[in-house]
Structure 1
């Protein structure tokens, strides 16, 4: 916009108001977004940490529980390794089946597997140290159990081959093999029931599991406390930013209302009243719109007549359209003068469109309009109308039946000259008495379609004869 035009319009540009406000709002929104993401991320980290701690606890308890189940079944076996009367005693397979079942059902609860999972999950070195020690204790207990079972099974073989293949046993030394069967049985019982090393492993296992649990719980508490403090700080900052955003939005609304919304409401009232708009108290862009509106208002007044004429005229034929027909009908409905309504329908328009193209169809409509105008015009085009796709009408005032027939004869001659077919139906006031225009239209329409059906029937007969 040129400087001279700006000085004439006055006011300040919207950019000088919107850009600073948008920059402030954008900065505040970015801060709020970052703070919200930080709160969510910290909360998610705390949730992950809690889940990890629960998983540590589950795994450590599973290792201890599995070791205790194996120890319990082994102890039960050692208390009663043989069943049956003397001389016919056999191995007590019940505890051994329970032992094997625990090994098969929970292979992932062995000490080395649990220790590997702790390391994979990123446990601290202190926690890994305790869990590794507990794993060694559990493995030492399992080796002692397998050794004691092997001492008994050496002298009392299993006849259950599946159980024999499934149960793990240790290799006996030459010293063990040199013992008698009763000595080996007694040694096996002492390893489990009275063995100090075995009992110490059980105690160490429980102690290391407790230390491991206490350590990762303390680590979780420390990290959770730090996370909560961080979240609290972030939330305070977030509320501050929300307050700043609320103030910025309030100032933005006030500015928009003062320089944009208020003037626009005033302009809306003036536009509804069809007034010339005034340019006071608005931004430069609205003032430009005011000038443009006022200019358009002046042009509208000049073009209104032209637009009304265009709205009431059919563009293809130049005849008045349906709107003009309905408006004219309202004007003459209470008139007592004799009245006739002529309705026309162009025959075979669809056939022409399908076979020769729509340009030929348009030309057919223009030709039909010319024939109607030449035959029924009263000196102006106001009494001939196109009110549908292929439908036309003509209204004759102060006419009689003889005059109507003469015009129809003239119309038929014009159709023969142009070599086109148009069905026509008419009705005049002497036929209906009261009711006027609508009843005339209905009667003329009925007669027109009767003629149209006759024309098409003749066409079908001629077509079949050919």
Structure 2
């Protein structure tokens, strides 16, 4: 199976993610721009529609004021007319905006034509208001300058005031005037239609680009989701599951399975090597902690632990305490090196003579103990035979070492009249042997 390095995969995923992030940013900026264009086109249309209606309302307002003035001859209507014409200037404001922003469009051309038609109406309006002013206002100096500049036809000057009023009313209400007014409204409506078409065109272009951007964003999102799924699956398969297995192995005290990403496999191999070395080291440390360095028998600490376990247990056992006779004499005569060899020999004989399930311990300088498990008092002859065999070999050496012997005291868990402890009872039996010539085995 090809090994997969998480580092390489992660670098690849990071690169792809960064590329997608850049694409997202570019597409988002572009999409935002196109959306802004759509919004701008809509806002422009709303403003243009408002201004077009403003031109229409300005034109209508002038018609309304001139008609009211010709109908009532009240000066305020004429003043309102010229305030709109010279100060408010709704028509001119609307046209100026269109000329500034849409001078090359059909909407502006039509609106300009509507403005021309509206201005043509103004000529008729001023002539009609001059007739009314001529008939009703004696002081011509108070007339607006635009009215003063109007020259009446000779025939109109000679009319009576009543005829002048009637003609003024006819001028602003006849079919010709109404047709001119309808022409203004028609051109404004056509301008609005052209504006709607222009807006839809702008919105349509922006919408097409925005749709394309949106689809690309969807594609990038799908790739990103697939990338995330790939990362999740690979992480679970190559990292999470192996780590779970490693945790289980640690709990069980086992080596790691070599699975997952290459980095984890290398970690597992390293851990397993260290684990095996540590196991060997632990065994060595444990052996050194539990055994006597000279004889390799169990030491005093191990003896006490084992004795405590069996004393608190229910299984029968025998406590065998052994002393090497004349050991001090051997040390003084032959030296400590020879004494050490004697101790090693005694430990070896005890180990090979007793069973592998029994515990051979060195509990003092020349003092040994054997915990013989699963035996009762009725098998005391077995212990005696083993000690006799050991003493025969120690007393008749063939290895060049001086002859020695063992004094042995034994106590069984099912002994009669047990004392304070099985160890003390065995020690009492040992004491009797020493008192009676040594080189023997006695039972409590």
TM-score by length of 1: 0.49
Deviations 1:194-240 (A, max 9, x none): 483x4443122011111101111122333434444444433333333
Which residue does the alignment assign to 2:307? none
Gaps of 5+ in 2: 283-444
Which residue does the alignment assign to 2:198? 219
Which residue does the alignment assign to 2:402? none
CA RMSD, Structure 1 to Structure 2 (Å): 4.2
Cα deviation, residue 132, structure 1 = 0.7
Which residue does the alignment assign to 2:219? 240
1:169 aligns with 2:144: no
Cα deviation, residue 254, structure 1 = 1.9
Which residue does the alignment assign to 2:38? 46
1:136 aligns with 2:128: no
Moved over 6 A (4+): 287-290, 292-296
Cα deviation, residue 56, structure 1 = 1.7
1:179 aligns with 2:171: no
Deviations 1:223-268 (A, max 9, x none): 4344444444333333333222222221122222233333334445
Which residue does the alignment assign to 2:90? 109
Residue 167 and residue 47 in structure 1: after superposition, are their counterparts in 2 closer, same or farther (change >3 A)?
Answer: farther
Cα deviation, residue 49, structure 1 = 1.4
TM-score by length of 2: 0.51
Partner Cα separation in structure 1 for residue 154 and residue 5 of structure 2: 104
Cα deviation, residue 189, structure 1 = 3.6
Partner Cα separation in structure 2 for residue 284 and residue 240 of structure 1: 32
Cα deviation, residue 22, structure 1 = 1.9
Cα deviation, residue 274, structure 1 = 9.8
1:61 aligns with 2:61: no
Count residues in correspondence: 275
Partner Cα separation in structure 2 for residue 264 and residue 46 of structure 1: 54
Out of 3, 11, 15, the position equivalent to 1:23 is 15
Gaps of 5+ in 1: 1-9, 82-91, 303-466
Residue 175 and residue 168 in structure 1: after superposition, are their counterparts in 2 closer, same or farther (change >3 A)?
Answer: closer
2:93 is paired with a residue of what secondary structure? helix
2:137 is paired with a residue of what secondary structure? coil
Instruction: Spell out the pairing of 1:332-371 with structure 2 (5 A cutoff).
Output: none
Residue 103 and residue 208 in structure 1: after superposition, are their counterparts in 2 closer, same or farther (change >3 A)?
Answer: same
1:169 is paired with a residue of what secondary structure? helix
Partner Cα separation in structure 2 for residue 103 and residue 294 of structure 1: 101
Range with bigger deviation, 172-181 or 131-140: 172-181
2:186 is paired with a residue of what secondary structure? helix
| Structure 1 contact 78–189 (Cα < 8 Å) conserved | yes
Partner Cα separation in structure 2 for residue 166 and residue 252 of structure 1: 84
Deviations 1:10-44 (A, max 9, x none): 97654322122222233334334433443443333
Partner Cα separation in structure 2 for residue 32 and residue 58 of structure 1: 38
Bigger radius of gyration among the two: 2
Instruction: Spell out the pairing of 1:77-92 with structure 2 (5 A cutoff).
Output: 77-81=69-73, 92=74
Which residue does the alignment assign to 2:237? 258
